[in-house]
Structure 1
């Protein structure tokens, strides 16, 4: 069993969703968890107690399995939740996201817009971002392997994380010019960093 499989089995076995896990060159093992989709969409948030629970179980499992790490960090995804796979994109279709491409398109890598599915893409690997460049609305078609990073744009909502969906738009090609719409929203914040040498749990403050 790999360390990734051990982490995923532990997190899902405790009744949480594994959003992301990564291991840095310095030995930091960073694990991001969330409530299961039905709970999260109903407005339930990850708490410090949830993170502590997962941390304790992961420490035990990683020790038993013999996986070496310098520090373990378990946290909630925050309002700027990362999108890591096709299931994440499908779940948050219709919401505003920030994406960073691996290679620039029309001289830029970073885009912000509303995420849409492309009906012709049966494998859920191809998507469309509808965005405003300041003068007109455009549509950027992309595949998941072209994306370096994607995150939800934070939205404060009393109806839970789902918020209000953007209205549907007609399909378009990459770079198609459409009538001007509202300007882009405020940029997402940066995550907090833990002190070296400490396992870290993080919960409701980032929600």
Structure 2
């Protein structure tokens, strides 16, 4: 699924579930399983009842069916410990934490980075500390980003 369609689906889902107090963080398309995975969050986290409530709204959303051609399985889930990051606010909440990002194109010879998020400018520029080196990139070039849990 391309970035534009993914963003359209996130926006559509976000509007549909916002009245329930939820936010759509990310969507993933699994071509092999024909599964649309939707990751949501709420002010107090997400549990199974929240996922069921959101699924109940989304399964009848005709606009969503129009965006995904053919039969598919809808999965609604919590973001988990390595939650996706999409917005400037998400990144501001993650300052000081280990994150992983993938860009649409290279910036300063790098398309991927894993490091401590040091700062987020209001303009949307991210600065990471990767192996004691600063690397900055604009959020508009972001393809994917998520928190990274240190399992050690």
- The TM-score range, normalised by the shorter chain, is 0.7 to 0.9
Change (3 A) 1:4 1:115: closer
Show the counterpart of 2:105.
103
TM-score (norm. length: structure 2): 0.74
Change (3 A) 1:30 1:150: same
Give the structure with higher Rg (CA): 1
Alignment partner for residue 148 of structure 1, among 128, 143, 150? 143
Show the counterpart of 1:67.
65
> Higher helix fraction: Structure 1 or Structure 2?
2
1:56 Cα deviation from its structure 2 partner = 1.2
User: Residue 67 of structure 1 aligns to a residue in which SS?
Assistant: helix
User: Residue 56 of structure 1 aligns to a residue in which SS?
Assistant: helix
State the alpha-carbon separation in 2 of the partners of residues 34 and 4 from structure 1: 13
Show the counterpart of 2:114.
112
Gaps of 5+ in 1: 40-44, 156-184, 187-207
TM-score (norm. length: structure 1): 0.57
Show the counterpart of 2:125.
126
> Higher strand fraction: Structure 1 or Structure 2?
2
Show the counterpart of 2:40.
33
User: Residue 80 of structure 1 aligns to a residue in which SS?
Assistant: coil
User: Residue 26 of structure 2 aligns to a residue in which SS?
Assistant: strand
